[in-house]
Chains A and B, each alone.
Chain A
């Protein structure tokens, strides 16, 4: 670690980055971050789930034992081949192994019965179901409100054993890989490679790779690195795919060395000899260099695929899928929030409209009412005027009549007076006559 060179790049306002290497005497210390990560990861420990799939008798258990240099499958814990199954089972064995201070919880998932029946249709289904159920477990654990340390039992690698027929992939192989390549990292292996000569083996490999490409099967791809050394290594591995392996539980002495191998009358096929088989490459790749990457690809690619498919199905139940493609970038909760907001504004609009209609109708009615009130009022006024006119007329007549009457009565009184005077005179005269 050099003592002084600290590179500082500042983000300028336009989103670009300007690198200004400054040569300061001084040390900050975050170069120690990797060590902190190291320390924490050792303290936490590691876990890995490996699945082996293949017909019985292809040497799967032996290979596992050879890979991990242990008796995972032993007389007390028999491997899949020793257990006769009628249908495909999926079983797991968990072991804890320690090496150099690093703890690894290894889960080996077996599929006894795979490909052993006469009719093997859908024999991959239990495998798919198992992988999906592990994804589902993880998804549920991740989605809980109270999350604890989430145990990761997702299948991170699937070793697929191809029988060494020397010809090509069987239909079952192709079917299986096509159905699982988007759920798990598939590493195809040629089992019992010691039954083929190197030329036969190479031919077989070429044939297999050709068929894999033809059927667009996506086997596990090694990540690109910037490191030249690593790239060379990766290219070497890629050239030898699929890896042809031999497994053995027995140790034989060859040239004074104790090696794992298979003893034949014509010689010993050494497991760890690179010229005999690709076992070492497999072990190095699987355990020593790419174990972490296998886990990362499972987490970032396969699991995310599963998750987004699962959640999209849930939230857009029965709705038009085309409409929703653009909405997949939102979380379902944000989706609901948005829908709620939309609904609120829709309701507001509806409310406004209804309010308007209501007001209008009320206004109409009120106007009508006012009109009829005015009309009635007017008529009433008119009638009143009419009555008043009649009243006045009557008054006038009465007055006239009164006048007339008064006049006539006055006249009568005068007449009466005259009569009275006349009669009095007559009386006087009468009285005078009598005497």
Chain B
């Protein structure tokens, strides 16, 4: 397919289209009420605005970040090399990774006068584990981390958004293994987790392993599985008339079946990128052999800017909205009056300080409580101890009394005995003195 290649003519084409179509621009729609259209009496010159904008962006340089998700060995690195016509870093990874890690590399590319800062992120170890339940987690975390970094930058007080190196993922190429049957459940699960965070472009990797008819069936199966599972893949935009047609055609060719190769083979009198088999040569850039050219056209040549825009206006906004709501920010207060930023921040801050103070108070209170409780406990223990010893004391006193009683009774006995003794001795003495009569007397006395 021939797209207008030269800058000038394509721009004229765009302007002509804009001038002749009835469709209004976004600005015109926004203007609506409050702005009146006035005719110009001559050439003012603001039709150079797009050029001014373009010049600025060219001077500033562009930036694009691609994430490649797919099992080890599906040719991700090779495809990147082929797409960007260069050899990127790295050796092929083994299959023994314990988990999924993401490796990113940034390259400065230049084509004609356009500078591109390209970041390629690879998932290392995807699909290699026995238990793949958590495979998608590190990918989601990575994507979120890039959003978070941007959000933090955007929220700073002194910020430099203009020179910020945007690391948010603009496109996710999802590599599907060329089984010819259907999507693996790992694929479905992963894509479902990623579709609200990144633009997913599914591609069938190493598609030279599938025949044309199998491929057609495979594509249909994949598309229907994606639809039935509610996975939202990236659709090339059809709202811009200049590219609507080609985009909608391409949408029907998704997922693209690609072949990657950095080796060159001589075909006719040209060197082309190809893979040579005993039975023939698969030419990467031959549209009959695979969809590589389509992928390149769509991803890079036609929709790169749209991918970036979608990432910024849709995926990032969604992340930001969720994050802010999580932190308790709202747009309107209970009376539906809009909050000003200042109020929001102040309110947040007061709430926050209040919370901290409350926590401090609570802790203090807790300690006061514990002290009270412990004191009470100890007092109890003390009381018990005293009671115990009071009891012992009483016991002891009882014992003592008993002892005293015994003593007293003994003493009484002793006294009695003594009395008896003395009385007896007295009598005995008297008896001895009184002789016989005394004895009689004694008898008498005894009888008495």
By a beta-carbon cutoff of 8 Å, the part of chain A in contact with chain B is 1-2, 5-11, 17, 19, 22, 24-48, 67-72, 94-105, 136, 139-140, 143-147, 149, 151, 225, 283-284, 287-293, 296, 300, 304, 307-308, 310-312, 314-315, 317, 328-334, 336, 339-340, 343, 347, 350-351, 354, 358, 361-362, 365-366, 369, 372-373, 376, 380, 383-384, 387, 390-391, 394, 397-398, 401, 404-405, 408, 412, 415, 419, 422-423, 426
Contact = CB atoms under 8 A, between A and B. Distances in A.
Nearest to B340: A140
B442 interface: yes
9 contacts: A28-B83, A35-B11, A39-B14, A39-B242, A69-B43, A97-B38, A291-B46, A365-B378, A369-B381
Contacts of A293: 52, 56
B331 A68 contact: no
Interface stretch (B138-146, B184-192, B197-205, B344-352): B344-352
Nearest to B156: A331
Contacts, number: 373
Given A143-B341, A331-B153, A376-B392, 12 more contacts: A8-B108, A17-B108, A29-B297, A36-B304, A46-B49, A70-B41, A103-B24, A105-B27, A140-B338, A293-B52, A296-B162, A408-B417
A391 B107 contact: no
A68 B44 contact: yes
A80 B109 CA distance: 53
Interface of B: 5-7, 10-11, 14-19, 24-28, 30-31, 34-54, 56-59, 62, 64, 83-86, 89, 105-114, 116, 152-159, 161-162, 240, 242-243, 271, 273, 296-297, 300-306, 309, 317, 320-321, 324-325, 327, 329-331, 338, 340-342, 344-346, 348-349, 352, 356, 359-360, 363, 367, 370-371, 374, 378, 381-382, 385, 389, 392-393, 396, 399-400, 403, 406-407, 410, 413-414, 417, 421, 424, 428, 431, 436, 439-440, 442-443
Contacts of A38: 11, 14, 50-51, 53-54
B7 A35 contact: yes
Consensus secondary structure, chain B interface: helix
A-B pairs, 6 with minimum CB distance = A45-B27, A331-B155, A45-B25, A101-B18, A29-B301, A101-B15
Contacts of B113: 31
B317 A147 contact: yes
A44 B25 contact: yes
Contacts of B106: 11
B153 to A, nearest CB: 8
A289 B109 contact: no
B114 A46 contact: no
B107 A9 contact: yes
A49 to B, nearest CB: 12
Contacts of B301: 29-30, 32
Contacts of A404: 417
Given A43-B26, A292-B56, A28 B428 contact: no
A317 B348 CA distance: 13
Nearest to A32: B301
B110 A308 contact: no
Contacts of A27: 85, 111
Given A46-B49, A300-B162, A146 B321 contact: yes
Contacts of B317: 147
A102 B300 CA distance: 25
A307 B157 CA distance: 7
Contacts of A46: 27, 46, 49
Nearest to B23: A43
A402 to B, nearest CB: 9
A433 to B, nearest CB: 12
A310 B46 contact: no
A40 B240 CA distance: 8
Given A8-B109, A358-B367, A398-B410, A314 B27 contact: no
Nearest to A391: B403
Contacts of A41: 49-50, 53-54
A46 B407 CA distance: 123
